[in-house]
Structure 1
């Protein structure tokens, strides 16, 4: 057999040669969308590689991006790795200190930045030790103190796009992302060409999101976070129309794009799904989302009430998946088996409420505190360990890596839950977010999901707070959609949980703080409301 390396240029080759007439659509923010073909896109990706070479970028060098989901950012998704360099997407929603740390630790030599991110990079520039050039993703360069600085379009205009991308080992690094750094500094994950190609194939299979040519995908998940869940790569391979929401997107922009471009699949965080539902319920203005078949929501489990609302109101299926930056990111997906074809609706939602089946080539273990395997019986609770060809084997240049892997090379996720006899993974919590009350474990995730199924609740996050007798008790921070009392929420939860699970306190807040990738930021809630005095002060101020 031909021993051909798995390289990302093969994905681009198929997009250009087989699906060259299919389109990429990018919202600009000024009311006009940019639309062009995969054939035109491939030429621009090669021009970018030539321009970066002219700036001194060599194979193995890091090229950082600080940018939104736009066509120019997407061109770097292939232009940078196919030349042998490493695409390093930087989460622009992190704190300045974290962004500077990530750029320096990753070793970025060139930064591609959106114009609105210039003030951020100007603040950080004195501390960015290795950056040798800045490229503004625009026609011209606005006034700036950055130097040397170049216009993206002017750089591309100087190239002919007639470049043959080289061959190299499939284990060559292609892209780089950093974890969100919830504990300590962010940790870097290097993806190889091989891992990206295999993960991309996984996204195109039946039993996952199933990217295909006739689909129109709206990539809501940020391109600076875990490669927008791999959708940009899979769309190119399969020739799916790709819609990019552009700079500073809001839920109304997603609905406008679905309406205008007849999007069939949208992919984003659960919090985005909640906000889209709220806008659709108001129906002012009216958005036609009848084209939408699938709204894949991730980052945390979508509440059953949200899944049912989209299905009942708009005939939209809301699946979920489970993954992480270290896994490229997808590990499982909530595909239904043939045995579920004729079961009751509630049973279907019981399955969709789980994180799903392991994708092909992904192995999952459930282990106890001693590292021994637990049964897949839907009852035994343990930690998930993972192996797959698109799973990182270590963190980049990080002495903490060995602690994240066991002696057999399994990655220790820190996620806790069960696996049922059919192989469905169901998370109950992150190990650090479990609440141990009186020696018994309480799952904050299960409480949150149940609370967000209440019609009066928009968002809910549950954290542990200190307790004199039980050491820890759950505190529920709740954002409401309509008036509701703690007593009503208590009665609602008692229909699903034992009394000792029920939060003794409900704190009604205006918003739940979120991380840079849209997840509930529980560390902020614990810091803000961990002390009883702080909660009382908040209630007193809110009542004024």
Structure 2
């Protein structure tokens, strides 16, 4: 299965340069009222490349960390590093300083670039790790340059992204320029992106979801990106009404915040030809809330290592396949391995973790750790994580199937099912509930009866103030199991 190709770029920096030649006046980025055309963006990338090489002494193969909210300068930095053949290491600003230190000790960047908001934390981080620190404003104000190094190649590493560490310590996935280009082509084709689109980006660029599902693919297609520093439901609804984007990417937590916002019902959503969700599992009530407003809620499945554009449910099937992730995107191969684990093979999937730990098997397949079922029409539905499977009395129980039904109860804000040791059954199904309003175990049991087999109904119920989560928002069921074992 071939990868869709719009142009013949072999390095990331060529993407913006192509649009700067073909449509220099087309808006590339809109951020806090400032517009950058593709011509402007290309010039800033060349100027930043020269600054990085001459003043900051960044060389091919070097790593440069970023600490800050989403900012056009982070994208300029990425493309400039791509020209140099150097590597961007975006840091999750939600992590603790000690976690940043461990990541930097692993990949040893030569400097840290930061925005104004995170200046103090970045300078302290740089001092602790004996690194230089630079403000992004300096990068964006680099003097014009007529030329700059172009040492980046297709196989040059360009992005190191931390995995969530759900089942162990985080690892750094090594994305090459070829990986990102393939993902941009795959994602752009799947979402039918064109220069006529305006994409609203509100998810953080430190993660491949915010960066690679729509933002980079939109720039690849010559579309306009409206970039927000951080997600705010009121500002997002205001941007949809005022700027009239055609696409945006959300996750269940932001979808919930939008649907529950006072202006949700009155906001004009008619400009949106689709909303895409970057999540393997989306509560049905949230999907239906968007469909009720006439907006197809599409879904993309993948992982930090897989681009992440792997399996996609587009607008055509959004209403008929609620709960499904859809079909493999063009250029992506998928199959179910032992126990129903999703295996993927594609040119946008990383080959290794930093520094040189293989991520693929001998035949090039990536084991996702996610379990799925495949329907007769070929579509995939994720049912849980391989290491989170609950085996009770010989029955295999996926936490997700319990959680999706429980989440439909009006008193449930969040929930997580997990297994705890049990002398009789081996494991017993337990569930932790974060309630919106006071509710009882009996009421929730009654809600599940008739919708789930009896052996799937939790035997142990715990009402908690919050669920333990990774820095990227994934529920840590193992932590719950340890707490309530």
TM-score by length of 2: 0.90
In the alignment, which residue of structure 2 is the partner of 1:35? 35
Q: Specify the alignment match of 1:384 in structure 2.
A: 342
Q: Is residue 365 of structure 2 the alignment partner of residue 365 of structure 1?
A: no
Inter-CA distance 484–268: structure 2 relative to 1 (3 Å threshold): same
1:389-416 CA distance string (max 9 Å, x none): 1111221225xx45x5434232222111
Aligned residue number for residue 144 of structure 1: none
- Pairwise CA distance, 1:295: 1.9
1:145-544 paired onto structure 2 within 5 Å:
151-153=138-140, 156-157=141-142, 159-163=143-147, 166=150, 168-205=152-189, 208-226=190-208, 228-246=211-229, 248-279=230-261, 282-283=262-263, 287-312=267-292, 314-335=293-314, 349=319, 351-368=321-338, 381-397=339-355, 401=357, 405-482=360-437, 484-528=439-483, 530-531=484-485
Q: TM-score, normalization: structure 1? A: 0.81
Alpha-carbon distance in structure 1 between the residues aligned to 2:398 and 2:211: 28
Tell me the SS of whatever aligns to 1:319. strand
* 8 Å contact kept, 1:209–1:333: no
2:68 is matched with 67
Partner Cα distance (2:402, 2:156) in 1: 43
Could you tell me how far apart the structure 2 residues matched to 1:209 and 1:507 are?
41
Aligned to 2:27: 23
CA distance in 1, matches of 2:250, 2:476: 17
Question: What is the aligned residue count?
Answer: 477
SS in 1 for 2:353: coil
Give the distance between the partners of 1:4 and 1:25, measured in 2 at CA.
23
2: CA distance, partners of 1:260 / 1:478: 38
Tell me if the contact between 2:50 and 2:148 (Cα under 8 Å) persists in the aligned partners.
no
Instruction: Map Cα deviations across residues 457-490 of structure 1 (whole Å, 9 max, x no partner).
Output: 3322222233332232222223344554332322
* Cα 1:214/1:506, change in 2 over 3 Å: farther
Partner of 1:116: 117
Given candidates 3, 10, 17, the residue that maps to 1:13 is 17
Measured after TM superposition, the shift of residue 358 of structure 1 is 0.8
Query: Gaps spanning 5+ residues in structure 2: where?
Result: 1-6
Distance 1:79 1:57 in 2: 11
Aligned to 2:3: none
Deviation at 1:286, TM superposition (A): 5.5
Deviation of 1:89 (Å): 1.4
CA RMSD of aligned residues (A): 2.5
**How far apart, CA to CA, are the structure 1 residues paired with 2:466 and 2:252?**
15
Following superposition, the deviation at residue 224 of structure 1 comes to 0.5
Worse-superposed segment, 212-221 or 44-53: 212-221
Give the direction of change, closer, same or farther, for the CA distance of 1:17–1:514 in structure 2 (3 Å limit): farther
- After superposition, what is the alpha-carbon deviation per residue over 1:156-196, rounded to whole angstroms, capped at 9, x for unaligned? 34x21322552654211222212122333321112122121
Rounded to whole Å, the distance in 2 between the matches of 1:58 and 1:75 is: 17
Which whole-Å CA distance do the structure 1 matches of 2:481 and 2:145 have between them? 53
SS in structure 2 of the partner of residue 263 of structure 1:
coil
Q: 2:26 & 2:254 partners in 1: Cα distance?
A: 27
In 1, the alpha carbon distance for the partners of 2:331 and 2:265 equals 45
Could you tell me how far 1:108 is from its partner in structure 2? 0.9
Task: Report the 3-state secondary structure (helix = DSSP H, G, I; strand = E; otherwise coil) of the residue aligned with 1:115.
Answer: coil
Q: For 1:168 and 1:215, how far apart are their aligned partners in 2?
A: 29
Structure 1 residues 429-484: Cα deviation after superposition (integer angstroms, max 9, x where no partner)? 11121112122211111111222233443322222233332232222223344554
